Amino acid sequence: MKLFDLTGRQALVIGGVGPYGRQATVGLCQAGARVTIATRNRKILDRDPKTFHPTNPPAVDLCNLTNDDDVRALADRQGAAGIVVYSAAPGSGYGWKQTPASFERAILAHGLLAWAVLHHFGDAMAAYGRGSITTLGSVQAHGGPDFTLYPSGWEPPADYTFGKAGLLNLTRHAAAVYGPRGVRCNHITLGPFQKDPASDDADRVTKRIYLDRMAGPNDLLGPIVFLASDASAFVTGADLVVDGGQTAAY
């Protein structure tokens, strides 16, 4: 269907090597977009880009986004991108008992970087009168953690919960700002990704999901292409929930 065709369009995936960022990259490549991955992970240079797509592999913009100037510079280099997926997931890695300094650093990363991406790329797209920005969030934006799911001792970082809730409404705010200028801003709420199917924690989490499984390596491809393409031309400010039904039980 031509509505989903992205052939020739320039796309940027910020944080495109994690479990979900990689799916965003693969999906956009499969739809024909010319994709660039922006990441600080130097290991990507050791990977054959054809592992993402054999005939339409992505390019790489190796960069460390730590402040507004970094994002502005990225927008200057990649400003022609009419599709941006923000998949970065900064966090402290601590649970509730983190220091004020660690929480402040993590929240600054969550808030400032997301705002800078929406701001600078939104302005660049508005100059052309069209574009799509998709932010990737988490079910943690819709409720607090259930600690009974993690008896192994791992604890979801408090700053992650805070940051993902903020990202959802920041994206909606951007949708209101840029909608009249032809730029669509949408958010995807993501459920847990299957990393180790044999772990006890994975089994407990799966029991809370209606589809009785965690997300696999292809579950984000369709939603990403949908929001990037003309198939979603009348969709902005939306939160597309891709979690197997987990939040429906909240």
- Provide the edge-to-edge strand list for the sheet that holds 131-136: 59-62, 34-39, 10-14, 83-86, 131-136, 183-190, 239-242
Percent of the chain past pLDDT 90, that is, above it, reads 66
Question: What is the DSSP pairing of strand 83-86 with strand 10-14?
Answer: parallel
Task: Tell me which of 94, 160, 210, 250 is the catalytic residue.
Answer: 160
pTM over 0.85: yes
Pick the CATH number of 2-249 from 3.60.15.10, 3.90.1580.10, 3.40.50.720, 3.40.109.10: 3.40.50.720
160 flagged as catalytic: yes
Binned at pLDDT 50, 70 and 90, residue 248 comes out as: very high
Assess whether pLDDT exceeds 70 at residue 231: yes
CB 24 within 8 A of CB 16: yes
Separation CA 243–CA 232 (nearest Å)? 20
User: What integer pLDDT is reported at residue 197 of this predicted model?
Assistant: 59
User: What integer pLDDT is reported at residue 43 of this predicted model?
Assistant: 84
